């Protein structure tokens, strides 16, 4: 067998069914081998960044490693953003890159780049394969490392001579990695100590995140809440790990999280931090975060303990196993599971209810134009009526926050967003990845016009590959999130945040369609993808019905005002007490924002 | 910075290409500084030992150790506190030794059990090994004779035998 054939068989043995791969000189042998595989579907993205984001979408929806490939040089460098993205969001990803032949490495060969070196700071692990006999072991290790412990991206750099060499492969049954032991023994003493803190608590809170989803611990979390009566706030990465429709849910916290989630987490006397990393978008000024609470941190990654925030009780564990054991201990102590009528912390529930009543999520609706929040609520309503499972992906910016705020997620892996790296252009290819994994699902990318344009070429891939990825584009003709910061901090001076043609005038009402730029319906037509544009509120419901019902790639462009801001908002480096809940344009000069991210 | 004590980490790693880059990158990417670094094989051909001396605060050290532990190619880390390890460093030094000062230089070398490994008309090369305090004192004393070149291996260390 050739090295390329061995690689493909090794991937088949790992259960790979889909690879997003863009060919080139240094990866052609692998494409040739893939074309003969009946187990693996090879999907041709129209840009390696799209392919690698699609692999991330696949991984986030399934929990299995997404796989993508590009050729050496530019093919590989185009995948770096997704690798960094997967590194920050702990997404299992296996990235294969073609490489120039080993005897050409270091000579500045055509399309040569030191991809192994270039990706070192943002991989969980990586390989440069120099011996064809290493391929079976390397592939097995790569998938193991990507998918176990705290998941992450693994790079396999494959020189072309190794792909074209010939060998009789020996596929190993087991893995021997003495430096990698992701399993953790449960610390019984620490878990009992945790329950001791909970027993004495008056205002306990759970702050949980992506770790719950990675470890598939959502059922254990539900049981823990039902037995303990502790309310839940998630991070953006944790959206859906606990149903937002549940009475114990406070939705998500952080910069654009709910007032009540931020209040409750910051004023809790005992804070259970489960599968989280105290990200600055969650904590604001980290020294002030939950400063009076006793923090107990459970995470599988020891390096997250005391990294951003010192905690009272660290527990290094797989959060699924830890919660399962805690549930057992609670059951042994006589704590029954409750579906309703929670009564463990009545005064605390009352306080939370007051916060919810006094500071609900809100926006000023209008009949003059379509508010972006309203569009997402309409989408939610339409999706509720659809019998299929709905998956939401997003780009990055205002629309991403609104997609988190105004849609209710009640299952894990249904809100797929670039949280840590904040990669614009993520939404549409990620939706394609979800479609590849779940062809019968209702998969919707809620996007902005800026983010959508960044990987719009993938409409060609979706069309040709019959991936029913649908895009709801909230078009405000601006980079809305940057505009929001310009409004807050830079006196609304627009610096490269207007996306239409400044020489063509601008009609903020979007009533004059000739001024809308670029013209998405025309562009989509070029891809033979249907795109409908909605400007008037009265037309939205019908368009939304068509959009949600569609079973192929379509685009719904909704024109929205650029003046709308994402609220609430805790500006970076500030605390939950500084939360802005009302439109701030008149009082913005009174807000003193520190230098922070 | 000077008030922060030096700290020695002994790190067993896979003897593979790229491991040094991974370890070094972990430091540089986080703005941590390595004071000295020594890498060499152990008695197992597939395992190397890195001895890393750092001057960082306790919380930074904790992060460094945890980040090193995360690397797949890192097998084991020993975090040596003072007195728990035997440690040595080797220095090669070229120093002026002409007719006027040669006797005094040689006498100092004898006192410190330093070896003279190369001799020229008015210069000699000296080899010395030992722990921190001995080395620093020797270097300080030799400085007045004009050191023209000096190289240190960086510290190597092993855990003390107990019992």
Q: What is the CATH number of the domain that holds B137?
A: 3.30.70.1150
In whole angstroms, what is the distance from residue A154 CA to residue A149 CA?
13
A204-208 and A232-234 beta bridge pairing: parallel
Which whole number is the average pLDDT over A285-302? 96
Q: Which residue spans within A51-119 are E strands per DSSP?
A: 66-70, 93-99
Contacts of A539 (CB under 8 A, 6+ apart): none
User: What was the pLDDT predicted at B4?
Assistant: 77
Please answer yes or no on whether B25 and A121 come within 8 Å at the CB atom: yes
Which whole number is the average pLDDT over A556-567? 98
User: What was the pLDDT predicted at A597?
Assistant: 63
Closest chain A CA to residue B12: A179
Which whole number is the average pLDDT over A121-138? 98
* Domain span including residue B111: 85-159
Please list the ranges in chain B whose pLDDT falls under 50: 1
Average pLDDT, chain A: 97
Instruction: Select the residue from A150, A176, A178 to test the B interface by mutation, using most B Cβ atoms within 10 A.
Output: A178
Q: How far is B59 from chain A (nearest CA, A)?
A: 8
Instruction: Select the residue from B42, B58, B66 to test the A interface by mutation, using most A Cβ atoms within 10 A.
Output: B66
Please answer yes or no on whether A303 and B63 come within 8 Å at the CB atom: yes
Q: In order of start, what are the domains of chain A with their CATH numbers?
A: 3-164 (3.40.50.970), 188-358 (3.40.50.1220), 372-559 (3.40.50.970)
**Which residues of A participate in catalysis according to the annotation?**
48, 110-111, 160, 481
Q: What angle do CA A451, A456, A460 make, to 5 degrees?
A: 155
CB A375 within 8 A of CB A560: yes
Please answer yes or no on whether B18 and A124 come within 8 Å at the CB atom: no
Q: Which of A360, A181, A148 is nearest to B75 (CA)?
A: A181
Q: How far is A86 from chain B (nearest CA, A)?
A: 17
Please answer yes or no on whether A302 and B70 come within 8 Å at the CB atom: yes
The residue to which tokens 């809620």 are assigned: A446
- Quick one: B149 exposed, middle or buried, by C-beta within 10 A (0-12, 13-18, 19+)? exposed
Dihedral angle, C-alpha A162, A164, A167, A172, nearest 10 °: 50
Which whole number is the average pLDDT over A138-149? 98
- ipTM rounded to 2 decimals: 0.91
CB A460 within 8 A of CB A441: no
User: How many structural domains does chain B have?
Assistant: 2
The reply to whether A134 touches chain B by the CB within 8 Å rule is no
- Residues of chain A with Cβ-Cβ distance to B42 below 8 Å are none
Identify whether residues B73 and B126 lie together within a single domain: no
Structure tokens at A299: 């995470």
End residue of a domain, out of B22, B49, B80: B80
Which CATH number belongs to the domain containing residue B67 in this structure?
3.30.70.260
User: What was the pLDDT predicted at A232?
Assistant: 98
Is A447's pLDDT higher than 60? yes
In whole angstroms, what is the distance from residue B91 CA to residue B93 CA?
6
The pLDDT > 90 percentage for chain A reads: 97
In total, the C-beta contacts within 8 angstroms joining chain A to chain B are 39
Please answer yes or no on whether A121 and B29 come within 8 Å at the CB atom: yes
Structure tokens at A160: 């072309």
Q: What is the pLDDT of residues A388-416, one digit of tens each?
A: 999 999 999 999 999 999 999 999 999 99
User: What was the pLDDT predicted at B1?
Assistant: 42
In whole angstroms, what is the distance from residue A220 CA to residue A242 CA?
10
Identify whether residues B63 and B126 lie together within a single domain: no
Please answer yes or no on whether B67 and A303 come within 8 Å at the CB atom: yes
Is A370's pLDDT higher than 60? yes
B101: in domain: yes
Please answer yes or no on whether B72 and A120 come within 8 Å at the CB atom: no
Which whole number is the average pLDDT over A579-592? 91
In whole angstroms, what is the distance from residue A482 CA to residue B100 CA?
73
The reply to whether A366 touches chain B by the CB within 8 Å rule is no
The residue to which tokens 């329950």 are assigned: A195
Which whole number is the average pLDDT over A160-179? 97
The reply to whether A176 touches chain B by the CB within 8 Å rule is no
B1: in domain: no
Is A381's pLDDT higher than 80? yes
Identify whether residues B74 and B109 lie together within a single domain: no
The pLDDT > 70 percentage for chain A reads: 100
B2: in domain: no
Nearest to A117 among B21, B70, B74 (CB): B21
CB A315 within 8 A of CB A187: yes
Higher pLDDT, B1 or A160: A160
Identify whether residues B95 and B142 lie together within a single domain: yes
Is A576's pLDDT higher than 80? yes
Farthest CA pair distance, chain A: 73
Ordered DSSP codes for A494-506? -SS-B-S-GGG--
Closest chain B CA to residue A146: B72
CB A584 within 8 A of CB A561: no
End residue of a domain, out of B50, B80, B110: B80
- What is the enclosing helix (H) or strand (E) of A559? strand A554-559
């Amino acid at each position: 067998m050739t090295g390329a054939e061995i690689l493909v068989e090794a991937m088949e043995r790992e259960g790979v069914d889909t690879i997003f791969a863009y060919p080139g000189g240094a990866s052609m042998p692998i494409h040739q081998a893939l074309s003969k595989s009946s187990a693996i579907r090879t999907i041709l993205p129209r840009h390696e960044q799209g392919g690698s984001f699609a692999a991330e979408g696949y991984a986030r929806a399934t929990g299995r490693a997404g796989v993508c490939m590009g050729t050496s040089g530019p093919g590989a460098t185009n995948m770096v953003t997704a690798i960094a993205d997967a590194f920050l969001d702990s997404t299992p990803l296996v990235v294969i890159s073609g490489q120039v032949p080993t005897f050409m490495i270091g000579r500045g060969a055509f399309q040569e780049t030191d991809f192994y070196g270039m990706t070192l700071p943002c991989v969980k692990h990586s390989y440069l394969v120099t011996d064809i006999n290493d391929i079976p072991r390397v592939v097995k290790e790569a998938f193991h490392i990507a998918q176990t412990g705290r998941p992450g991206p693994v790079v396999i750099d494959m020189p072309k001579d190794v792909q074209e060499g010939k060998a009789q492969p020996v596929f190993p049954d087991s893995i021997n990695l003495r430096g990698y032991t992701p399993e953790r023994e449960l610390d019984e003493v620490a878990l009992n100590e945790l329950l001791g803190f909970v027993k004495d608590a008056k205002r306990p809170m759970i702050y949980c995140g992506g770790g719950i989803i990675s470890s598939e611990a959502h059922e254990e979390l539900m049981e823990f809440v039902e037995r303990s009566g502790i309310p839940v706030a998630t991070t953006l990465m944790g959206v859906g790990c606990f149903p937002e429709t549940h009475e114990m849910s406070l939705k998500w916290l952080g910069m654009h999280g709910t007032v009540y989630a931020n209040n409750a987490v910051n004023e809790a006397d005992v804070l259970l931090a489960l599968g989280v990393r105290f990200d600055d978008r969650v904590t604001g000024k980290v020294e002030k975060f939950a400063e009076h609470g006793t923090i107990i941190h459970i995470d599988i990654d020891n390096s997250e303990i005391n990294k951003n925030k010192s905690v009272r009780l660290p527990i290094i564990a797989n959060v699924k196993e830890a919660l399962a054991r805690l549930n057992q201990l609670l059951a042994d102590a006589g704590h029954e599971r409750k579906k309703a009528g929670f009564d463990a912390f009545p005064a605390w529930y009352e306080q939370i209810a007051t916060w919810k009543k006094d500071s609900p999520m809100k926006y000023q609706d209008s009949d003059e134009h379509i508010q972006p929040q309203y569009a997402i609520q309409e989408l939610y309503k339409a999706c509720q009526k659809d019998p299929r499972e709905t998956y939401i992906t997003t780009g990055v910016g205002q629309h991403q926050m609104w997609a988190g705020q105004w849609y209710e997620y009640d299952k894990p892996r249904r809100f797929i967003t670039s949280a840590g790296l904040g990669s614009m252009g993520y939404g549409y290819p990620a939706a394609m990845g979800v479609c590849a994994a779940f062809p019968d699902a209702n998969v919707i990318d809620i996007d902005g016009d800026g983010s959508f344009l960044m990987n719009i070429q993938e409409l060609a891939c979706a069309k040709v590959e019959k991936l029913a990825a649908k895009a709801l584009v909230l078009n405000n003709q601006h980079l809305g999130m940057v505009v929001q910061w310009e409004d807050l901090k830079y006196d609304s001076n627009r610096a490269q945040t207007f996306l239409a043609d400044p020489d063509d005038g601008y009609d903020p009402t979007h009533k004059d369609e000739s001024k809308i730029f670029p013209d998405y319906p025309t562009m989509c037509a070029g891809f033979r993808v249907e795109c409908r544009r909605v400007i008037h509120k009265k037309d939205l419901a019908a368009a939304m019905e068509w959009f949600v019902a569609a079973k192929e790639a379509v685009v719904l462009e909704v024109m929205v005002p650029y003046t709308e801001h994402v609220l609430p908002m805790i500006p970076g480096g500030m605390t939950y007490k500084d939360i802005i809940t009302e439109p701030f344009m008149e009082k913005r000069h009174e807000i003193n924002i520190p230098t922070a991210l | 910075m000077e008030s922060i004590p030096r700290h020695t980490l002994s790190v067993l790693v896979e003897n593979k290409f790229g491991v040094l880059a991974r370890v070094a990158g972990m430091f540089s990417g986080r703005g941590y500084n390595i004071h000295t670094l020594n890498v060499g094989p152990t008695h197992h051909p597939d395992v190397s030992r890195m001895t890393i001396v750092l001057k960082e605060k306790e919380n930074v050290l904790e992060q460094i150790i945890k980040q090193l532990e995360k690397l797949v190619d890192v097998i084991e880390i020993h975090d040596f506190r003072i007195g728990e390890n035997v440690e040595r460093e080797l220095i090669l030094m070229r120093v002026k030794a002409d007719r006027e000062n040669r006797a005094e230089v040689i006498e100092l070398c004898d006192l410190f059990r330093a070896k003279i490994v190369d001799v020229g008309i008015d210069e000699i090369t000296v080899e010395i090994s030992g722990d921190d305090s001995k080395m620093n004192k020797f270097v300080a004393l030799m400085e007045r004779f004009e050191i023209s070149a000096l190289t240190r291996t960086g510290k190597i260390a092993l855990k003390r035998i107990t019992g």
